[in-house]
Amino acid sequence: MLEQHLYVNATFHTQWAGMPRATALWTRGERILAVESPEELRAHLTGPVETVDLGGATVIPGLTDAHIHTANYAREISALDLRGTTSLPEALARIRAHAATLPDGAWIFGGRWDFNAWDVPVQPDRAALDSATGSHPAALPSVDGHTVWANSAALAAVGIDARTPDPVGGEIVRGPDGEPTGILRESAHAPLAEIMHGGAAGDLHSQLDRAQHRLLAVGLTGVHDFDGDECRAAYASLRAEGKLRLRVHKSIPATSLERAIDAGWATGDGDAWLRTGPVKLFSDGALGSHSSHMGHPFPGEDGNTGIEVTPYLELLALVRRAAGAGIAVATHAIGDRANQLVLDAYQDLLRHPLDAAPGRPGSSLPTHRPLRHRIEHAQHLRPEDVQRVAGLGVVPSMQPTHCTTDIPLASTLLADRQLASYAWRSLIDAGAWPAFGSDAPVELPHPLHGIHAAVTRQRHDGEPAGGWQPGERITVAEAIAGFTTGAARASGEEALKGRLRPGMLADFTALAADPHAVDPRDLRELPVTATAVGGTLRYRNDS
């Protein structure tokens, strides 16, 4: 017999027009049976039902992080953390202290350094890193993950030297003598990524198992993960063992597209706990690494308009290849030129549609399932491309805390450019459906931080007053929707998730106060008191 729960002593914001507010929720198994008042529901209860008191909480539909790297997040929980360092010497001191805790020869991973925030904003090099790492090879991603700072031992381990050519879509930064400086941009750090995502980084299965608790504790009931095949395998193992406690929409790396097609995978395959997502492509790099593909050069860097990681014709071919196999496409694009090219590719697909994908043996899902293509980040758009996002039905998958973190950077690098930056208000008004996430571990995976950023466009210290480019602020309801109905729509699961209504999955997040009623400045630190996935409390904080 399926377990039944009656959740009471709470106010439920259902996001369902049939009953926007309720004071009780009745579940059977993983589904919602009804939402009304306790008295009305008790009149219809049958069989054994456990009553759960939520302590006066305000409950919203379960929050989904629509763009997160959970494998990287899980691995970095115990790795070196260079966030917040304000100088190269401070970063080297942290590296030296961390190295002292490791056995001889062990790799140093983690990082998340940001030279833009250092008192002397200059790219570090391998000589500096060598001075702090001793016998340890070290590969340290920048805060945006698009640049890796490697020491001499790490470069030697993957055979990168003066004779190594720059790969397509990447750069091995070199000194005047032609020798690598230790800075690897975009696809140039792919050889090290294989090590960073392999056994040297620890047992991913157990790391993800532990990381789930942290994600549930910040109110997440699901994730759209953008890490690699090893992450998919670890989640599949957790699912088989009955240890998966939040829902995973798992992307396909571009390098695995052909293998996925050969295996017959398609977007939407799987079950409500572990489902195949889109293929992840890259159009450009990142603003902080000065590798986002822009329509004009970066200030003081004549000729540098960023990096076109995937050349347009190749991008177009990959989009058509994936869509023809029933796989949606999610393309990373930050710069205005990158976003323009991705929209061009999606528009070409719309103008020249493919034949229906062939049926897949053993699949119970229809072969005509509509695909929702996405742009991951969509940070800086030409104003004319805002309407194009909506008109093409493209999902802008965005991370609100990127905006508030990037305020100093965007204000400097993009000053006086006519761009729609982090343009949530403009996109919603144009008819687009944003899906919100965090991009953790680039940012913290706290959805309340994202809701605060989307509503205020201010940092945690309340600056700038009134918000950065305040015309792009959105309402609390719209910000929550980005993590609920928007995320569900992006994954094609709006019939299952994103609202609290009969028949849908019983996933919800309980908060200590009503986010619609608190001062917007308090949204960021609004406590999560409980998180339920599939009708069961997976996290509770009664303190």
- Three-state DSSP state, 519: coil
- Beta strands in 402-470, from DSSP E residues, in sequence order: 420-421, 435-436
Give me the residues paired with residue 284 across strands: none
3-state secondary structure 39-66: HHHHCCCCCCCEEEEEEEEEEEECEEEE
- Beta strands in 385-492, from DSSP E residues, in sequence order: 395-398, 420-421, 435-436
CA dist 316 and 423 (Å) reads 25
Fold for 1-62+499-543, please state it.
Urease, subunit C; domain 1 (2.30.40)
- Asked if 276 and 250 touch (Cβ cutoff 8 Å), the reply is yes
- Three-state DSSP state, 406: coil
The pLDDT score that the predictor gives to residue 364 is 37
- Beta strands in 72-146, from DSSP E residues, in sequence order: 80-81, 110-111, 139-141
Round the CA-based radius of gyration of the chain to a whole number and report it: 23
Residues spanned by CATH 3.20.20.140 within the chain? 201-358+375-497
Q: What is the pLDDT along the chain (543 residues), one digit of tens a residue?
A: 799 999 999 999 999 999 999 999 999 999 999 999 999 999 999 999 999 999 999 999 999 999 999 999 999 998 999 999 999 999 999 999 999 999 999 999 999 999 989 999 888 999 999 999 999 999 999 998 999 999 999 999 999 999 999 999 999 999 999 999 999 999 999 999 989 988 888 999 999 999 999 999 999 999 999 999 999 999 999 999 999 999 999 999 999 999 999 999 999 999 999 999 999 999 999 999 999 999 999 999 999 999 999 999 999 999 999 999 999 999 999 999 999 999 999 999 999 987 544 434 333 333 446 899 999 999 999 999 999 999 999 999 999 999 999 999 999 999 989 999 999 999 999 999 999 999 999 999 999 999 999 999 999 999 999 999 999 999 999 999 999 999 999 999 999 999 999 999 999 999 999 999 999 999 999 999 999 999 999 999 976
List the structure tokens of 227. Answer: 């890490």
List all residues 6 or more positions away from 259 whose beta carbon is below 8 Å from its beta carbon: none
- pTM assigned to the model: 0.92
CATH code that applies to domain 78-199: 3.10.310.70
CA distances from 348 to 313, 341, 345, 414 (A): 11, 10, 5, 29
CA 135 to chain centre: 34
- Asked if 224 and 64 touch (Cβ cutoff 8 Å), the reply is yes
3-state secondary structure 214-278: HHHHCCEEEEEECCCHHHHHHHHHHHHCCCCCCEEEEEEEHHHHHHHHHHCCCCCCECCCEEEEE
* Superfamily classification of domain 201-358+375-497: Metal-dependent hydrolases (3.20.20.140)
List the structure tokens of 302. Answer: 């004549």
**Would you tell me how many other CB atoms lie within 10 Å of the CB of residue 359?**
13
The pLDDT score that the predictor gives to residue 230 is 95
One-letter amino acid of 192: L
Read off the DSSP letter of residue 477: H
Residues spanned by CATH 2.30.40.10 within the chain? 1-62+499-543
Read off the DSSP letter of residue 336: H
Residues spanned by CATH 3.10.310.70 within the chain? 78-199
The pLDDT score that the predictor gives to residue 362 is 36
